[in-house]
Structure 1
Amino acid sequence: MTYQVIARKFRPQVFEDLIGQQHVTRTLCNAIEQGRIPHAFLFTGTRGVGKTSAARVLAKALVCEQGPTPRPCNLCEHCRSITAGNHLDVFEIDGASNRGIDEIRDLREKIAYMPSKARFKLYIIDEVHMLTSEAFNALLKTLEEPPEHVKFIFATTEAHKIPSTILSRCQRFDFRKIGVGLIVDRLVDICEREGVGAERSVLTTIAREAGGSMRDAQSLLDQVISFSGGNLGGAGLSELLGLHDQGKVLILLRALFEGELPRAFTLLREIDEAGHDFGRFLLALIETLKDLIVLSVAGEAGAESLDRTAEELVELRSLAGLRSTGEVELINDLFLRGHQLLHGFEHPRLLLEILAYKAVLVDGLIPIEDLVQSVREKKKT
């Protein structure tokens, strides 16, 4: 049997499988149950959050033998054909490679014909923003007065590139980035079903690196399983994927907060020798400093909003006690300016070492905003 990657093997087949998009699935299910099905849908959001999967599930819901139904059976001929990608009345079109006016004119000619088997003809156009202006204009008339048997489902990562005349004729659904916790829970479920042992900390690292994309997380998981031989431990993960190690981020911050510059330089040398991306590492530092500020300002209420493991929260609370909130803000501003300089910098490690040196010097300094406020208060008295 041909191997199937995890992202395809565990692609959502019903609306309940779409993780983190309940606001979309609830609206779609209610519309189907109430018979309020529009002629054109627009699914927009970043990569890997379920737009194309939702389009296929919606197609099943509309043509299932038991439908239209918000719960397609996945057993009838229509559902199985859509899953296999060979349904005669469901057309998946890549907008990037079929972007011209000739392709849209051909589509307009074909939609006049009734469906071969199903109750609807469905056109799923992925990356629809790639269509030319002429192609959009040719599509406009069809969207104004579509045949009753035709439904359009558009998917895009860049909705702002779609003409407003097209947007106004579609029901728009914005797909959100998926939270780290939700991605981890899904990866845990996949590992259990695949018979793979996995440390939750490893899955958390993968989920963070995915940046809210379930597909990216599943692709990374596939790679890690191949590397580990079926037992996912933390050893070698960062080296394999070129990821920053959150543990090293915390170690570096502790060294800086405690004024241990040699220890910080040693860690930066190890990161450089391991071939890690200093840009991503610096972003991780900035994010961690932001979390420290949240903890300092909001306390335990702020901790609940952070995508952190229990162990990381313990270390963050310890670090928060080493420096004032003002000092952490100054260090964060320093790293933010450094990140702007990093692009195109020939020696990124040297830049990080300079930033580390300046961060150590931020000891007892008062942010300018606090100083101004103090002067104002003295003037009032």
Structure 2
Amino acid sequence: MRAVLTGVSSTVAGALALTAITLAPASAQGVHEAGGVKFTVTRAVADLSYPWGFDFLPDGSLLVNEVEGRMWLVSTDGERRIEVTGVPRVRAVGQGGLLDLVVAPDFGTSGRVYFTFSEPGTGGAGTAAATARLLREGDTARLADVAVIARMEKKTGSGRHFGSRIVPAPDGTLFVTLGDRGDADRAQDPKDHAGSVLRVNADGSIPDDNPFADGAKALPEIWSTGHRNIQGAAIEPSTGLLWTVEHGARGGDEINRPEAGRNYGWPVISYGRHYSGLRIGVGAQAQGYEQPLHYWDPSIAPSGMAFYTGDAVPQWRGSLFVGALKDQLISRLEVENGEVVAEEQLVVGDYGRIRTLRNGPDGTLWFSTDEGEGALYRISGAR
């Protein structure tokens, strides 16, 4: 696990915010093979400290979050970057910090980005999602009009299980995934945000068709409940449906396709066990709780996920990719008719802890590594 860090405000992070920095050039890492398919992994951006979320701007440049509280704008060739100012203060402790980052689908007209972070407050911290406009002026970049659009109201001192991902849906709404903050029972409380998937409009208002929109039985922004610690989420291109992957305890990492108003069982059911070895809840199944589409036992400690839509490695198109922290690998899952039908493991132990996966603008697949000397890597076809 990453060492405990001190919370940082990007506006106080130092003079680097105003200076373009030259980075080490990208370098090829080697050719790999899996399932008869050869592919090349290239380090595209080096010299990053625990990079978490990242995404591509329309011109091919990158935004990258470092967990300690810094956001970087990186040039298309990966060799220059400037720090983005205006990032809200985060409580970077344990698994918390500046987390996911997504460029809005309409960025070309709105200039908006979305991001998640561990928000400090009374009692400690909780996961929050925010929107802002990215303004670029010469060698400077800043966030303007920052607004929180979803937040975990109950703050605690725990450094565990913040989640979190933010995913734009085809209908213009946003899904936000939240961990249980290390307090499992919170995931079964419909009046608590912890351990849930939220669904909000882009301005933070509640969609009328949310399952609990009237707030009578559950908080109106809740989409689904009973999740432990969702650290990966993606929209399936062929269906427009949300898929998620979450950490189990000792085993029981699971992939779900969260549906409106459904309960996914944590901590009543699980395919894993407590770290003590004792059974979790009532076992693996119980009436009223949904079953996962796929699970791992023992745990791989999954993080980011992405459906591959590119053509750099055409044999993989349509596959679901999941990164793993503990097992330091990328799992490629074949999906047919909404079911996981096969799995193979790539780059096992070769690049460290895999954090986030994204489709690149050139048809490649990118990933980040959760390391003190972290980096962004690009996967392309072997030449």
TM norm. shorter chain > 0.5: no
TM-score bracket, normalised by the shorter chain, equals under 0.3
**Whose strand proportion is higher, 1 or 2?**
2
Structure 1 or 2, whichever has the larger Rg, is: 1
| TM superposition score normalised by structure 2 | 0.23
**Whose helix proportion is higher, 1 or 2?**
1
